[in-house]
Copies of this chain bind each other. A is one copy, B any other.
């Protein structure tokens, strides 16, 4: 921090920095999905190259949280925030990393498509779901908004259902696209599913920070 911040400002900044990374995760998974559906190698490269920025921001958040603990001895909800920021920053970085994996699959198959026609709709919907989850996560972080955190958790059912649809298509007797597209589909589906799982885990931590308890039936 170049400017001397008050304790309260430092805590606000922690929320805002995490929200900032969540917004970068939105952009990353949105672009990665577009690149996947359009076999756009250039856009995939952009997603891959920007991951190092996300990683650096997340290491900064962790250092900022550690410095706050060392200097300010936060308690109660403040301590939950500062301690929660450490695993959350790792998880926010991982979400970007999973978008990067989608982009790497796109790049590996370009100029061919990594997605067969039968699965375009499933992946388009997975991408929209992932974007919505990360956007709600960003709102939950910037506004300390439990309802937005709950929306993230609820959207996970949609992602699980899409994941099941994907396997139903790839394992149907009508599948004629061979081994490699099936493997690509399985791994891509896993990246989106894990992206959603990380978003949910962050949403649960926000709930814990704001209320002191984890949400019921997680």
Residues of A within 8 A of B (CB): 65-66, 69-70, 73, 75, 79-80, 83, 86-87, 90, 167, 170-171, 175, 179-180, 182-183, 186-187, 190
Contact = CB atoms under 8 A, between A and B. Distances in A.
A84 to B, nearest CB: 8
Contact of A179 (B75, B170, B187): B170
A183 B186 contact: yes
A171 B183 contact: yes
13 contacts: A65-B83, A66-B80, A66-B83, A69-B69, A69-B79, A69-B83, A70-B79, A73-B73, A86-B87, A175-B179, A186-B187, A187-B187, A190-B190
Main secondary structure of the interface of A (DSSP, over half): helix
Contacts of A65: 83
Nearest to A175: B179
Contacts of A69: 69, 79, 83
Contacts of A170: 179, 183
A73 B72 CA distance: 10
A65 to B, nearest CB: 8
Contacts of A190: 187, 190
Given A66-B83, A170-B183, 18 more contacts: A65-B83, A69-B79, A70-B75, A73-B73, A83-B83, A86-B87, A87-B90, A90-B90, A170-B179, A175-B179, A182-B182, A182-B183, A183-B183, A183-B186, A186-B186, A187-B187, A187-B190, A190-B190
